[in-house]
Amino acid sequence: MDTNKQEQRLTKKGKETRARIVAAAAKLMFERGVAGTSVDDVQREAKVSASQLYHYFKEKRELVLAVIVYQTDQVLSAQEPLLSHLDSMEALQTWRDAIVQLQIERQCHGGCPIGSLGSELADTEPAARLELENGFLRWETAIRNGLRAMKERGELKADADPDRLALALLTALQGGLLLTQVRKETSPLESVMDAMLAHIRTFLV
């Protein structure tokens, strides 16, 4: 089902109800995992009837896809306006600091909401994997756009590859978030982000 078309047909009240269901599902799936969250759990958390929930989502798979989109939007919006302007080393450093600070505020709990969904769903739910891939691509694209802007202004050497650097930085970030979650301290995240920014600095003109 095309969720965008479905949302366009909803009334204002319908959109609000659907959004409440998705937010409730995202909260529970972040805390318990997808497998540990039942449709009944979501119904109770969102304070809706079974008929209301099934009006918007015919099966749990549809709800999971909506949660992936929701979590992607939440993660990326939490990094704005920094994420849209990663076109200098200062901006990259500020973004790095903000991500570390967020983990401190969360007491290193939960890791990356998108990454957690990916670990659980990528090998078993093809549709979910594609939606997750799209989410990560949005994140990677924002990083890549900033690095490309630096290269276009002549601030990065000719042999700098913004595409590979952006992918490497996002990959490093995901690994850092996972180890930070496991160790309950931000040093893994700080170390890997500092290493990647140091690597990017080697390409400065």
Tens digits of per-residue pLDDT, 47-102? 999 999 999 999 999 999 999 999 999 999 999 999 999 999 999 999 999 999 99
- Examine the domain organization and report whether 103 and 170 are in the same domain: yes
Tens digits of per-residue pLDDT, 61-71? 999 999 999 99
Domain that holds residue 93: 79-201
CATH number of the domain bearing residue 115: 1.10.357.10
What is the spatial distance between Cα 44 and Cα 21, in angstroms, rounded to a whole number?
10
Query: 158 burial class (0-12, 13-18, 19+ CB within 10 angstroms)?
Result: exposed
pTM reported for the whole predicted model? 0.89
- Examine the domain organization and report whether 103 and 148 are in the same domain: yes
Evaluated on CA atoms 26, 35, 188, 107, the torsion sign reads positive
Stretch 137-152: mean pLDDT, rounded?
A: 97
Categorize the per-residue pLDDT at 135 as very low, low, confident or very high, splitting at 50, 70 and 90.
very high
pLDDT score, position 10: 74
- Examine the domain organization and report whether 49 and 116 are in the same domain: no
- Examine the domain organization and report whether 59 and 139 are in the same domain: no
